[in-house]
Chain A
Amino acid sequence: MEHSIAVDIAFLLLAVLAVVAGWRVFRTDSMVRASFFLLVSFIAVGAIMILLAAEYLGVAMFFMMAVEMMVMALFMVMFMMNPAGLNPMMMVHQHRLSIVAGGVAFVILAAMALFSSFPADPLPAGLDPVHSLGEEMLGDSMLIFESAGIVLLATMIGVVVLSSHRGRYGAAEEGSMPPGLEPGGDPAGQPEDDESGGGHAHHHHH
């Protein structure tokens, strides 16, 4: 298929952006930054999909990933032990396993890219990508897509319901207190008790 040099340049720039942003996800020290680097990476991939004439899927990537990464960042801040907003934290763990898994995945994908022969099918002349995608998803496969969607939604709600009673410092129904600074010490970060010291439980309710 004939395409201009501008498409090639755009593809290369977007590919580099996607890879660099993806790499930064693991090198940054904050959940929020990691989420938004991932968002940048996905936006670059979405733009590449538009270059590949997948006009709906590419644009869908923009808004889906925008909302998804925003919600993900929010949930991580809500549920993680150390959300690390602007406080630095180590974002990676199980280093050796991750390095091996990453290396193997890279070799397999690179081998596939280099050694498989991709078909050179030009786009059919009257292709309407939005219409054909709609036919594909909402024609014969509508039942599958709709049921998968409802199952996913139910799973998400279920997970939040099951996990949300467990706060950062214990279960919600037990009343949560931060641990002490020393083992067995008083809860950290609490306001000074007033002089009454009678242990009125309602003083601790905030």
Chain B
Amino acid sequence: MIESLASLLMVTVVLVLGPYVVAVLDRLVATPTGAMAGDVWLGPLSRAAWLLTQQANATEAPDWQAWRLSPALYLALAAVGLAVVPWSPTLIATDLVTSVVLWGSVEALATVVIFLQGWSANAVLPLIGAYRYVALGLSYILISMFVLIGVALPAESLQWTQVVTAQESLWNVIRQPLGLPLFLVVGLGLTFWGPLNLADSTDLAGGTSAEVSGPSRLAWELARAVMLVAFSAIAATAFLGGWLGPWLPGPVWVLLKTLAVLALLLWLGHRLPRVAPERCVTLMWVVLLPLSFVDLIWAGVLALWA
């Protein structure tokens, strides 16, 4: 009882503090490139406060329910993702036996929610952003699926706690060297961050959120940031051994590894070049998807051999 309450508290704390950590880390990572001006620590807060006081934009005849719900639904999906992250063998909000598949469903449902955000505004540029994400999102989901099956193979289970336990001898980041790089690409895609920000990109004047302002815009940006944190926690669980580690207690290790993945993702977001959407689809299907097959075969052969 205490543990389940504690794990729910962890999820809530990450939901509240996660976006701030993302914003601060992003500014710290971006400072050497000079891409972001302003105070590192207060900047995110003042931007949030500014968004809160802005007027909420309205378009002509939008689907109001879907438009207002989609940021909340995206945030809820991120919360579901956080709920399956094991902080220790017992400190976990939902230890479902199919929690790896549940994370896969979060990625799939995110496609629907991002599409709704763009579609329901009833405006051209958001709609293009929405269709763009669907076209790209399917390839992210496929890559992610093969990588996740590869992670589940040595564990012989679809449960994140088992996936971590199976890494006691060797972390998956070494056992399946292709897995983490591919999964990081999925993470940037899922949160349309950095080079893979093609749904909300500047060439579409903000894409799916081009017409969104004020509190809804804040909610959307918070949801994206929390999804990035949830993704980092899942990546740390899948490839970096989750709670495993010497000296420190398990939850601290999960936190440190999550922050490491998060910083890496944000750094990649600033350093990698942006790809045009059409070339991105080609890259996904022609290069990365076959690589994910190789990763899966690698994992399968290792699992048979072991």
Contacts and interface: CB of A to CB of B under 8 A. Distances in A.
Interface of A: 32-33, 36, 39, 50, 55-56, 59-60, 62-63, 66-67, 69-71, 73-74, 85-86, 128-130
Contacts of A39: 112
B111 interface: yes
A66 B109 contact: yes
B98 A130 contact: yes
Interface of B: 61-63, 66, 96-98, 101-102, 104-105, 107-109, 111-112, 115-116, 119-120, 122, 127, 131, 134, 138, 141, 157-158
B112 A69 contact: yes
B145 to A, nearest CB: 9
Given A55-B96, A56-B158, A63 B101 contact: yes
Given A66-B112, A85-B119, A60 B63 contact: no
B97 A66 contact: no
Contact of A63 (B66, B108, B115, B127): B108
17 contacts: A36-B116, A39-B112, A55-B96, A55-B98, A56-B97, A56-B158, A62-B102, A62-B105, A63-B109, A67-B108, A67-B141, A74-B134, A86-B62, A86-B120, A130-B97, A130-B157, A130-B158
Contacts of B101: 56, 59-60, 63
6 interchain residue pairs of minimum CB distance: A62-B105, A66-B108, A63-B105, A63-B108, A66-B109, A59-B101
Given A33-B63, A62-B108, A66-B108, 18 more contacts: A36-B66, A36-B112, A36-B116, A55-B96, A55-B97, A56-B98, A59-B105, A62-B105, A63-B104, A66-B111, A66-B112, A67-B141, A70-B108, A70-B115, A71-B138, A73-B115, A86-B120, A130-B158
Contacts of A62: 102, 105, 108-109
**Residue of B102, B104, B109, B127 ringed by the most chain A CB atoms within 10 A:** B109
A66 B96 contact: no
B122 A86 contact: yes
B166 to A, nearest CB: 16
A29 to B, nearest CB: 11
B134 to A, nearest CB: 6
Contacts of A70: 108, 111-112, 115, 134
Nearest to B109: A66
Nearest to A58: B98
**Residue of A32, A50, A60 ringed by the most chain B CB atoms within 10 A:** A32
Given A63-B109, A67-B108, A86 B63 contact: yes
Contacts of B119: 32, 85
A59 B94 CA distance: 13
Contacts of B105: 59, 62-63, 66
A126 to B, nearest CB: 13
A63 B112 CA distance: 11
A152 to B, nearest CB: 17
Contact of B111 (A32, A67, A130): A67
A14 B102 CA distance: 18
Contacts of A63: 101, 104-105, 107-109
